Amino acid sequence: MYADLAEIQKDSAEIGIAIGESELWGKGIGTTATQMFINYASVKFNITKIYGAIVSLKIYGVEVSILSKLKVEERL
């Protein structure tokens, strides 16, 4: 598993989560990690905007975003 906060600016940061082991997909790990990172960033760094990209349209990446209450601002 990989998780990080990058590009930390005044009030925004990029979040990155990846779970390479397919047997761990669909178990809520990505959603939990995303929600924990959002909470940590808001408390520790006063971040009010978190952004990231869904690299693959696999259902789990989309599901994590929905369950973490993230919204789509731009589609590329």
What's the pLDDT tens digit per position in 2-41? Answer: 777 788 888 988 888 777 788 888 888 888 888 888 888 8
Report the distance separating Cα 71 and Cα 49, nearest Å. 11
Longest Cα–Cα distance of the chain, Å, equals 37
The residue among 4 and 57 whose pLDDT is bigger is: 4
Sign of CA dihedral 24, 66, 48, 10: positive
In eight-state DSSP terms, residue 25 is T
pTM score of the predicted model:
0.70
pLDDT (average), residues 35-52: 87
The pLDDT value recorded for residue 76 is: 56
- The answer on pLDDT for 43 being more than 90 is yes
